[in-house]
Amino acid sequence: MSNHKTSLTKKRAINIVQNPIILFEDNHLLIVSKPSSMLVQGDITGDPTLKDWAEQDVAKRFNKPGKAFIGLPHRLDRPSSGIVVLAKTSKALTRISGAFADRSIKKVYWAVVEGIPLNKDGRLIHSLWKDGVKKKSFVSSKKEAKEAILSYNLLSSGDRYSLLEINLETGRYHQIRCQLNAIGHPIKGDLKYGAKRPNPNGAIHLHAQCIEFKHPVKDEMIKIIAPTPQETLWIELNKKIKS
């Protein structure tokens, strides 16, 4: 009995520490900054998810019985942090899912990578193949491989790490992680894609920093920016960005 109580206490403490930050909300959308290590939706671990949190949080704040409706039009890798768009109505979910599918939504990512790229900016084109068993993408010449394109810009650098801004032209599985590793600059902490060592909390230094799109119901554009995590290296490299 005592062990069960201890387990519950630990789980509550984790939920409090990992609560997302609400960046925007109206009747149709809830846009948050997800902390690294938090799942967006459930998996075999059974760990608490962003969807669980949002269903409970919205229901509580708006006095809704049971769980509130929360739809997931897109995903963000568990070890990554940053912007996730959630739908609060089925109408918004259908429309925003379509916008993600046709790539009319502009997303910008920031990544801290090992080393300093020789070129301050560049456009990377690779053919990526997803291994469904290993849940990993590889640069490959297989006929099933799909073209992956991104562009990057060097924002700042230190002795061992650099801060890159990344714009995606395609949306392949683990695309940023795989392509940056392919040019010899894996994301800090990303052991799955070539990093030398892990981060203490299992996170990787990949952050969904900005999103811009047309509101799925209203005739207006939305642009949301998520501050980077309050962690030493993020803070140091942010300070070095030239205004």
d(CA 233, CA 239): 10
- Summarised one tens digit per residue, pLDDT across range 23-81 is 999 999 999 999 998 999 877 777 889 999 999 999 999 998 888 999 999 999 999 99
* Amino acid in position 64: K
> What residues contact 152, with CB distance under 8 A and at least 6 apart?
117, 121, 122, 124, 164, 165, 166, 167, 180
Is residue 45 exposed (0-12), middle (13-18) or buried (19+ Cβ within 10 Å)? exposed
Task: Name the CATH code of domain 2-239 (choices 3.30.2350.10, 3.40.47.10, 3.40.50.300, 3.40.50.720).
Answer: 3.30.2350.10
Instruction: Give every residue of the chain whose pLDDT is below 50, as ranges.
Output: 1-17
Confidence (pLDDT) at 18: 64
Look up the pTM and report it: 0.89
d(CA 242, CA 197): 29
The dihedral formed by the CA atoms of 45, 207, 52 and 202, expressed in degrees to the nearest 10: 30
Cβ proximity of 145 and 129 under 8 Å:
yes
